[in-house]
Structure 1
Amino acid sequence: MSTIGHLINGQLINPDGRTAAVFNPATGEVQRHVALASTLTVREAIEAADAAFPAWRDTPPVKRARIMFRFKELLESNAQQICTLIGQEHGKISHDAAGELQRGIENVEYACGAPELLKGEHSRNVGPNIDSWSEFQSLGVVAGVTPFNFPVMVPLWMVPMALVCGNCFILKPSERTPSATLFIAQLLHEAGLPPGVLNVVNGDKEAVDALLFDPRIQAVSFVGSTPIAEYIYRTASAQGKRCQALGGAKNHAIVMPDADLDNAVNSLLGAAFGSSGERCMALSVAVAVGDAVADALVGKLAEAMQGLKFGAHDEASNDFGPVITAEHRSKVVGYIDSAEMQGARIVVDGRSPRVAGYENGFFVGATLIDGVTANMQSYRAEIFGPVLQIIRVKTMDEAMQLINNHEYGNGTCIYTRDGEAARYFSDRIQVGMVGINIPLPVPVASHSFGGWKRSLFGDLHAYGPDGVRFYTRRKTITQRWPSANVREGAEFSMPTLK
């Protein structure tokens, strides 16, 4: 059985030491192992990046962009293999994996604009014969820690932008889904990336802590659960590092009385159950305004859910696949159990699914729960599984208050035909990403991704314009060339332009 190693200084290495099992979640079987980097291995990667940085920093942005253009072409020509690797280790259905890859490629395309994105700002004659300008300079060696659920897209949120900004990168992917991430890193080297500029170290907390405490790491990006996001942010910040740490979510959809229910139901199905609900932007709560809307919504959802199909990643007719591990399956089922024990009604029960030929897979069927209240454990927590909960309220303001009171503020949406209601909602909701009749309002690559409250630790969002700001430092230069024939006296007051 093969063992997945690390990519350091352009070479694949597989040192002896600790390993972890990598499962096929559809079968429940171990399909390979992954090496878990020691602190010494992480330091080796940092040394390679640190040595590569001066030459990469001085490489013109247009040359960095050309590598990204070639990288984009390689991602597209190797799409099938990438999607297969995602499916084998995550369980994501092939069409969903293709969507993940495409959203990642869009971030590569944005990074190809490096010569434009990194242009500074120039002002002539801000004072007598004085010019001033700003430059956007690279940080040095930076790191990213990425989650299991998007082993390609999330690294592509970070790596291309960090690299075109002139930084060197240490990537620590999830040990649950390492193969696709390592493969795209190899494609970057095939595209012409110099050795040491990007290094991949697989591992667990030991590897993460090695990155957090090494003084050569200037900035850390993270996507994952809120408890770990908070730990990474506090630890990195205490070490003087720049940090953006994206955490968990509890995304609500308000369904208004005037909503197009048929379209809303179709949207909710995909947003709640796509990727087995293992998305930080999954819609896990539908807030129905009025019992009439709630009754109709529950009825239509329950009927539509009977036609959902789940199974292995390579059967394109499946709607979604398994969850990531047996432990996570038990956790998801436990939240469904707790909702039932606290008085909610299980309308569609996915706790005991049957998938012919995959009896040992980590499957949870699509689940619909009605009568959920804000004090229930299943409502407060991020379930991260194919579970949709219904909360009934009387007014739109009550629905919005429910959302604003939640500790998470990642994504939300409203289904309505009323433009005034939509504007009122988008202006006053305390959530970072908002959809109007759009269930997954994930920003395109030219905007930035990030939530509010305990869904994001740090000041800057991921990718897009904020990505440029995160991976660069602004330096402002003010310059004057005095005339050889003019001698000025000493000035002791604050310089001003009068």
Structure 2
Amino acid sequence: MTAGPPTIGHWRAGGPWPGGAERCGDVHDPATGRVAAQVAFATGEEVSAVVAEAVAAGREWAATSLARRTAVLFAFREALVRRREDIAAVITSEHGKVLDDALGEVQRGLEVAEFACGAPHLLKGAFSDGVSSGVDVYSLRQPLGVVAVISPFNFPAMVPLWFVPIAIACGNAVVLKPSEKDPSASLLIAECWAEAGLPPGVFNVVQGDRVAVDALLEHPDVDSVSFVGSTPVARHVYETGTRHGKRVQALGGAKNHMIVLPDADLESAADAAVSAGFGSAGERCMAISVVVAVDPVADSLVPLIGSRIEGLRTGDGRRACDMGPLVTGAHRDKVRDYVDAGVAEGADLVADGRTVEPDGEDDGFWLGPTLFDRVRPGMSIYDEEIFGPVLSVVRVASYDEALELVNANPYGNGTAIFTGDGGAARRFQREVEVGMVGINVPIPVPMAYYSFGGWKASLFGDSHAHGVEGIHFFTRGKVVTARWPDPSTRHGIDLGFPQHT
């Protein structure tokens, strides 16, 4: 008898936990199309059991000294360094992105872990001596308790690492619900925490689908939720979580524009458009999906982009390829339908990814880099987030028209401008209604000590990820007003409103 695929379980009480496995989902190898594993789906009761243990572990962790917490953070950082190739390999096998891209993802997550090592400085309060006669005022930042992190398929290591190290550094316990499409990276991260000496129950992983998500959103002992994903789901997470009294940061979708002005270096702009449009098969919330070419740029720029696409090699991410498959067959088919729609709506198809000949098995979830020219608002390939290797060129007559196009979009995640004019760049960074801006940088993902997040329909909630905003999101402020009176002095009764004198 042939054994079936292995089952990927959860992480509970400091170690692997299979759970009841009443329901499971398929985990594919996108480069072959085969089912590589089954992932267990947690029930609501299982989620509640994990949360209850996290509550108890979180109380002890919150009472742990900053020195001890920091030591664990440094050890976790070292464990990530040791295991980064293992984590990258499992990302490639389950997500499909090429190995170099997966290693880059782990590195960007590692930077947040390094930032979290400095949490003692960031958690310092303020102190004011003698604000009134014998009165001092000082502030504290204290942990929330149990926090949930719900992460997407496109960055199975980096996105959890945006949140988890900071939450743990601040003294919280964490329950992570990774994407069911590529769940294994979360367990390798859990092993790193165990190697670092994190007490059992402070970091937990529950695998699953919407049942597990809603159980976390509705659980009374979960204090906050951090989410990254599509805008419809982000809206659901935000509305459900806040309705149940939680602090929520929900990062949604994107339609990122890259404006190219006539004075730009077109060779560099073409390189940037291809890199940012087709890296990770376009399955990035920061991918450039629209190039806005200001006249007369497009006639020169489009051929440059097309020539670079011709040199890209699509195939198995474990081989020497530039771009891998899409994450599932269903997602590949959805993106391919957008290509069909773009042709039907009258856009000029310059490079057709539907005809790609991949360096990989025939049943892999392949779709090559696709380029459309003369795209207009109102076409589905412009109006909707595609989340795949489809790059559209929109032609406009002026900078003002380009800016208006970007600002009219319902999303406000990331944008870029390519220009040699410092005045134009400075004007753009002030006038554009987008949360993250690149100037001659196509993917303006900030460093860990700044915060990541968009505007408009790209963000639900008030806080961005990591950086100082991350520290504030995972803590509550408290202000203490204290008087230690001189025993020889007595103030007596005063029913008037307190005044500082």
Structure 1 length-normalised TM:
0.98
Partner of 1:343: 346
What is the alpha-carbon distance in structure 1 between the residues aligned to residue 150 and residue 194 of structure 2?
Answer: 20
Asked if residue 86 in structure 1 is aligned to residue 91 in structure 2, the reply is yes
Partner of 1:375: 378
Partner of 2:52: 47
Which amino acid letter does the alignment assign opposite residue 378 of structure 1?
I
1:289-308 correspondence runs (5 A): 289-290=294-295, 292-308=296-312
What is the alpha-carbon distance in structure 2 between the residues aligned to residue 27 and residue 330 of structure 1?
Answer: 16
Task: Select 1:403's aligned residue among 401, 406, 411.
Answer: 406
Which amino acid letter does the alignment assign opposite residue 120 of structure 1?
G
Which amino acid letter does the alignment assign opposite residue 336 of structure 1?
V
Partner of 2:440: 437
Task: Select 1:22's aligned residue among 22, 27, 35.
Answer: 27
What is the alpha-carbon distance in structure 2 between the residues aligned to residue 356 and residue 437 of structure 1?
Answer: 32
SS at match of 1:284: strand
Does the CA-based 8 Å contact 2:314-2:359 persist in structure 1? no
C-alpha displacement at 1:356, in angstroms? 4.4
Partner of 2:207: 202
Task: Select 2:15's aligned residue among 7, 11, 16.
Answer: 11
Asked if residue 491 in structure 1 is aligned to residue 494 in structure 2, the reply is yes
Task: Select 1:352's aligned residue among 352, 355, 364.
Answer: 355
C-alpha displacement at 1:29, in angstroms? 0.4
What is the alpha-carbon distance in structure 2 between the residues aligned to residue 165 and residue 353 of structure 1?
Answer: 48
Asked if residue 322 in structure 1 is aligned to residue 354 in structure 2, the reply is no
Which amino acid letter does the alignment assign opposite residue 315 of structure 2?
G
Task: Select 1:269's aligned residue among 250, 271, 274.
Answer: 274
Deviating 4+ runs (over 4 angstroms): none
Partner of 1:449: 452
C-alpha displacement at 1:2, in angstroms? 0.8
What is the alpha-carbon distance in structure 1 between the residues aligned to residue 437 and residue 382 of structure 2?
Answer: 20
What is the alpha-carbon distance in structure 2 between the residues aligned to residue 248 and residue 29 of structure 1?
Answer: 29
What is the alpha-carbon distance in structure 2 between the residues aligned to residue 61 and residue 351 of structure 1?
Answer: 54
Does the CA-based 8 Å contact 1:339-1:377 persist in structure 2? yes
Structure 1: tracts of 5 or more residues without a match: none
Partner of 1:219: 224
SS at match of 1:492: coil
Partner of 1:96: 101
Partner of 2:113: 108
Post-superposition Cα deviations, 1:323-375, rounded to whole Å, max 9, x if no partner, equal: 11111111111111111111111011101322244111111100000011111
Which amino acid letter does the alignment assign opposite residue 459 of structure 2?
L
C-alpha displacement at 1:496, in angstroms? 2.5
SS at match of 1:217: coil
Which amino acid letter does the alignment assign opposite residue 300 of structure 2?
A
Post-superposition Cα deviations, 1:367-417, rounded to whole Å, max 9, x if no partner, equal: 000011111111111100011100000010110111101010000000000
Structure 2: tracts of 5 or more residues without a match: none
Asked if residue 239 in structure 1 is aligned to residue 239 in structure 2, the reply is no
C-alpha displacement at 1:486, in angstroms? 2.2
Asked if residue 393 in structure 1 is aligned to residue 396 in structure 2, the reply is yes
Which amino acid letter does the alignment assign opposite residue 493 of structure 1?
G
C-alpha displacement at 1:172, in angstroms? 0.2
Post-superposition Cα deviations, 1:95-140, rounded to whole Å, max 9, x if no partner, equal: 1011000000000000001211111111111111110011000000
Structure 2 length-normalised TM:
0.98
Does the CA-based 8 Å contact 1:62-1:114 persist in structure 2? no
Which amino acid letter does the alignment assign opposite residue 58 of structure 1?
A
* Range that drifts further, 346-355 or 432-441: 346-355
* Range that drifts further, 419-428 or 327-336: 327-336
The aligned length equals: 496
Task: Select 1:143's aligned residue among 133, 140, 148.
Answer: 148
C-alpha displacement at 1:59, in angstroms? 0.5
C-alpha displacement at 1:485, in angstroms? 2.3
Task: Select 2:470's aligned residue among 457, 467, 470.
Answer: 467
What is the alpha-carbon distance in structure 1 between the residues aligned to residue 487 and residue 165 of structure 2?
Answer: 47
What is the alpha-carbon distance in structure 1 between the residues aligned to residue 495 and residue 443 of structure 2?
Answer: 58
Structure 1 residues 55 and 357, CA gap change in structure 2 (3 angstroms) = closer
Post-superposition Cα deviations, 1:6-45, rounded to whole Å, max 9, x if no partner, equal: 1111121112310101000011000011000001110111
Partner of 1:35: 40
What is the root-mean-square deviation of aligned Cα atoms in Å?
0.9
* Range that drifts further, 354-363 or 104-113: 354-363
Asked if residue 256 in structure 1 is aligned to residue 261 in structure 2, the reply is yes
Which amino acid letter does the alignment assign opposite residue 227 of structure 2?
F
SS at match of 1:351: helix
